[in-house]
């Protein structure tokens, strides 16, 4: 089993704010973390490797400092990591991002076949959940999104069976390998990095690929390759607050208001 | 004003809404989008079409017209019975390539998110996720797509200037449900899927249903939601209030993590988005990740023992006090008031 995990470094989204004067993102001092869903994607890949043997490769696209997230990922027990980093990749939307990641996976596959790709269900910064399906579409592989349980990986049969979330139901789905899976947090509990793995991760060489290192069409990457553009960012509109009616003595008044205004229907 | 002419503008025309269904039951978000699509189509002066994919889904055609479609495209094929990405991707891409709409809207449900990402990639066009506001710029005729990012901490307006169609997903209950208009109808265009079962790499082995309430959650009008401030001991009081009001119990993530409520009851960024008549937030502080899931409700009532809790900034009505005392008082008063009128 050779499993690729797409792992994104993200700013801790809870800390990102808008500067009300300039209407730009305040990124200073915002800590970077592994996208939480991707940590679960990595854990699931490692579990399958623990059971069936094989190899786990992390692929990250991001600025040079994303190396930090990559090393963290390695410390959980991944076997190798590739960081895709080039100024020309900046400004990529989900279409360009899925292209760059796919081309890197294709280059990797020239050396060694890939059986499974794991992604998080979404990144907590861009929040789109589009990159996973984008990679699957480009490779022409089956995609299994919002997976909260891998039921079975069967290398002999060449299949994977998962349980995935739909709206009010869960679907048990079986797909042919190779396939792409995006995961929910509830899929597993993340292990602690072992000391030997942490030491190993700190010393491991990390392969960095720039745009010349794999087959890329200039028109499909970065801003040029991105059909969507952010035309404006702003702070979310605040719902105008109402009134605090008071303490417990105000309960009858509240109830009367709600019933009178037919907000709470009188059946 | 100079008009920025999108590359293939003239070539692509019309607004499409993907009518999502499972087991023949339409996702309510499809009709919410039909209402929104109607406004966009009218601003552009073009037709609004509904697109239905599924097996034995003919009954949804009159529904699409009733909610505002001028035209319906339908592919009815047994292969489309239970949702799988490949045949739906194949069918939708085929229709879009053939009939060339300028805008395609889909629900940001699990199904819609799964499908939209592959379809947009296959068509090499832009896709904007989870929009909360859609509008047409009258000069450029471009779709202005506004969406939250960074967990709701910022809003961004996204454009897809040159590629077509412009694609967007919208979360359920973000747009208002339009009224049904009986007796509307229009042209129905039927197409073949052109994909055989043997060509598909995926099989649905079974559906696990939680309850018998259909495949789409949450048609509630009233939610009584509790947070960490309610506490295990007082949680039954919250459920009692919901019962008296004929509402549903919701929860913050803190309450779900404490085990008082199930994940299916979580409201917010990583839970459900609700748009209701009344939302009671009891012992909930009002973190941004919670607010993004409920702040479009018509009326918000907050109950919290801290007068400075952020939830009061967005609530229409607030009561400051201990949930252990306020909840029974609310139950008593509602019982009286509602009974008194009967
Ligand atoms: C405010 C704002 C709004 C945006 N809105 C849109 C939009 O509507 N449409 C659009 O196309 N783009 C949009 N973008 C751009 C987009 O967010 C990112 O640039 C894109 O690279 C990744 O998309 P995502 O963060 O949504 O990832 P998602 O699609 O949510 O990520 C899903 C999974 O894909 C993998 N993955 C994603 N990125 C990487 C990476 N760099 N390296 C390794 N694995 C990765 C991870 O496994 C991740 O869990 C927006 C950007 C901003 C700042
Ligand atoms: C990526 C991410 C996604 C998230 N997604 C979600 C999500 O989907 N939904 C969600 O809800 N959260 C989500 N969160 C968590 C969110 O940030 C908050 O931590 C959470 O909403 C807090 O829940 P709470 O308001 O119940 O608890 P707290 O913040 O602890 O607030 C408890 C409140 O109860 C009040 N209180 C205490 N005692 C009493 C009493 N006796 N009577 C009355 N009031 C009392 C307190 O004054 C306080 O205001 C997410 C966080 C992250 C980082």
The 10s digit of each residue's pLDDT in A60-84 is: 999 999 999 999 999 999 999 999 9
Q: What is the mean pLDDT of each run of 10 residues along chain A (267 residues)?
A: 97 79 77 95 98 98 96 97 97 97 98 97 93 98 97 97 90 98 94 93 95 97 95 84 90 90 60
Q: What is the pLDDT of residues B103-153, one digit of tens each?
A: 999 999 999 999 999 999 999 999 999 999 999 999 999 999 999 888 778
**Mean pLDDT in residue range B222-240:** 95
pLDDT of B202 above 60:
yes
Expressed in angstroms and rounded, the spacing between residue A15 Cα and the centre of ligand 1 is 18
Q: Using CB atoms, which residue from A167, A236, A264 is nearest to B152?
A: A236
User: What is the domain extent for residue A13?
Assistant: 2-220
Interatomic CA distance for residues A22 and B157, integer angstroms: 16
Give the atom of ligand 2 at the shortest distance from the alpha carbon of B309: 49
* pLDDT value of position B2: 39
Q: Does A128 touch chain B (CB under 8 A)?
A: yes
* pLDDT value of position A260: 80
Interatomic CA distance for residues A227 and B72, integer angstroms: 28
* pLDDT value of position A240: 80
Lowest average pLDDT, out of A65-69, B9-13, B105-109, B201-205, goes to: B9-13
Evaluate: CB of B306 within 6 angstroms of ligand 2: yes
Phi, psi angles (nearest 5°) of residue B4: -80, 105
Expressed in angstroms and rounded, the spacing between residue A132 Cα and the centre of ligand 1 is 10
Residue A160 lies in a domain: yes
Residue A14 lies in a domain: yes
- Inter-chain touch A175–B295, beta carbons under 8 Å: no
Confidence of residue B1 (pLDDT cuts 50, 70, 90): very low
Q: Using CB atoms, which residue from B111, B162, B203 is nearest to A166?
A: B111
Residue A166 lies in a domain: yes
State how many domains chain A has: 1
More confident residue, A107 or B342: A107
Pairing relationship of beta strands B278-282 and B166-170 according to DSSP bridges: unpaired
Residue A189 lies in a domain: yes
Residue A229 lies in a domain: no
Residue A195 lies in a domain: yes
Interatomic CA distance for residues B257 and B129, integer angstroms: 27
Query: Distances in Å between the alpha carbon of A244 and those of A95, A199, B313?
Result: 47, 56, 10
- Inter-chain touch B318–A166, beta carbons under 8 Å: no
**Closest residue, chain A, to B334 (C-alpha):** A255
Q: Before A150, cis peptide (omega within 30)?
A: no
**Residues with Cβ within 8 Å of residue B52, at least 6 apart in sequence:** B19, B21, B60, B61, B64, B72, B73, B74, B75, B76
Q: Are A188 and A200 in contact (CB under 8 A)?
A: no
* pTM of the predicted protein model: 0.84
* pLDDT value of position A265: 57
Confidence of residue B283 (pLDDT cuts 50, 70, 90): very high
Confidence of residue B342 (pLDDT cuts 50, 70, 90): very low
* pLDDT value of position B211: 52
Give the atom of ligand 2 at the shortest distance from the alpha carbon of B310: 49
Which chain B residues touch A142 with a CB distance below 8 Å?
85-86, 201-202
Expressed in angstroms and rounded, the spacing between residue A139 Cα and the centre of ligand 1 is 18
ipTM of this predicted structure: 0.87
- Inter-chain touch A172–B126, beta carbons under 8 Å: no
Q: Which secondary structure element, helix H or strand E, spans residue B40, and what is its range?
A: helix B28-44
Which chain A residues touch B134 with a CB distance below 8 Å?
none
Residue A208 lies in a domain: yes
Evaluate: CB of B305 within 6 angstroms of ligand 2: yes
Q: Are A65 and A14 in contact (CB under 8 A)?
A: no
Residue A198 lies in a domain: yes
Which chain A residues touch B299 with a CB distance below 8 Å?
258, 263
Burial string for B232-242 (b: 16+ CB within 10 Å, else e) reads eebbebbbbbb
Chain B: give the shortest CA distance to residue A221, in Å: 12
More confident residue, B265 or A100: A100
**Mean pLDDT in residue range B5-21:** 80
Tell me which residue has its CA closest to atom 4 in ligand 2. Answer: B289
CATH number at residue A161: 3.40.50.620
For chain B, what is the mean pLDDT? 91
């Amino acid at each position: 089993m050779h499993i690729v995990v797409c792992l994104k470094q993200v700013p801790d989204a809870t800390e990102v704010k808008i500067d009300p004067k300039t209407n730009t993102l305040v990124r200073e001092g915002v800590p970077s973390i592994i996208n939480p869903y991707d940590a679960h994607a990595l854990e699931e890949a490692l579990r399958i490797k623990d059971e069936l043997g094989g190899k786990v490769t992390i692929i990250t696209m991001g600025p040079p400092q994303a190396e930090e997230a990559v090393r963290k990922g390695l410390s959980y027990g991944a076997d190798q990591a590739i960081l895709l980093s080039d100024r020309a990749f900046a400004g990529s939307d989900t279409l360009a991002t899925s292209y760059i990641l796919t081309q890197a996976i294709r280059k990797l596959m020239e050396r060694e076949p890939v059986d499974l790709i794991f992604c998080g269900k979404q990144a907590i910064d861009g929040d789109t959940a589009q990159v996973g399906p984008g990679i699957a579409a480009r490779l022409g592989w089956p995609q299994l999104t919002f997976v909260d349980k891998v039921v079975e990986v069967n290398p002999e049969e060449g299949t994977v069976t998962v349980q995935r979330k739909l709206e009010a139901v869960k679907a048990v789905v079986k797909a042919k390998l190779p396939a792409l899976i995006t995961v929910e947090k509830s899929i597993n509990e993340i292990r602690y990095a072992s000391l030997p793995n942490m030491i190993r991760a700190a010393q491991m060489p990390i392969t960095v690929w720039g745009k010349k290192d794999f087959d890329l069409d200039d028109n499909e990457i970065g801003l040029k390759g991105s059909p969507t553009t952010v035309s404006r960012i702003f702070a979310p509109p605040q719902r105008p607050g109402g009134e605090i009616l008071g303490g417990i003595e105000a309960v009858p008044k509240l109830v009367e208001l709600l019933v009178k205004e037919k907000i709470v229907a009188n059946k | 004003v100079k008009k920025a002419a999108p590359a293939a503008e003239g070539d692509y025309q019309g607004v499409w809404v993907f009518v999502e269904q499972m087991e023949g039951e339409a996702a309510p978000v499809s009709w919410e989008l039909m209402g929104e699509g109607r406004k966009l189509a009218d601003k552009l002066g073009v037709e609004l079409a509904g697109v239905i994919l599924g097996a034995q889904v003919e009954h949804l055609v009159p529904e699409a017209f009733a909610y505002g479609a001028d035209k319906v495209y339908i592919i009815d094929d047994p292969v489309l019975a239970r949702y799988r990405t490949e045949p739906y991707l194949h069918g939708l891409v085929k229709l879009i390539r053939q009939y060339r709409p300028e805008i395609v809207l889909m629900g940001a449900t699990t199904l819609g998110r799964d499908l939209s990402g592959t379809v947009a990639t296959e068509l090499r066009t832009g896709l904007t996720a989870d929009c909360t506001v859609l509008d047409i710029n009258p000069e450029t005729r471009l779709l202005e797509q506004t969406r939250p990012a960074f967990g709701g901490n910022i809003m961004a307006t996204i454009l897809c200037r040159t590629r077509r169609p412009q694609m967007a997903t919208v979360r359920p209950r973000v747009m208002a449900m339009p009224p049904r208009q009986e007796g509307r109808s229009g042209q129905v265009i039927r197409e073949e899927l052109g994909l055989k079962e043997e060509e598909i790499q995926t099989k649905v082995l079974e559906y696990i249903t939680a309850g018998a309430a259909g495949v789409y959650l949450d048609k509630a009008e009233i939610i009584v939601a509790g947070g960490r401030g309610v506490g295990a001991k007082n949680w039954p009081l919250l459920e009692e209030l919901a019962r008296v009001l004929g509402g549903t119990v919701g929860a913050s993530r803190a309450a779900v993590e404490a085990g008082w409520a199930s994940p299916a009851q979580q409201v917010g960024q990583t839970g459900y988005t609700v748009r209701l008549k009344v939302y009671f937030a009891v012992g909930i502080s009002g973190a941004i990740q919670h607010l993004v899931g409920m702040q479009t409700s018509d009326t918000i009532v907050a109950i919290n023992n801290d007068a400075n809790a952020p939830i009061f900034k967005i609530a229409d009505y607030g009561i400051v006090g201990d949930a252990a005392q306020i909840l029974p008082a609310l139950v008593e008063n509602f019982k009286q008031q509602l009974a008194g009128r009967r």
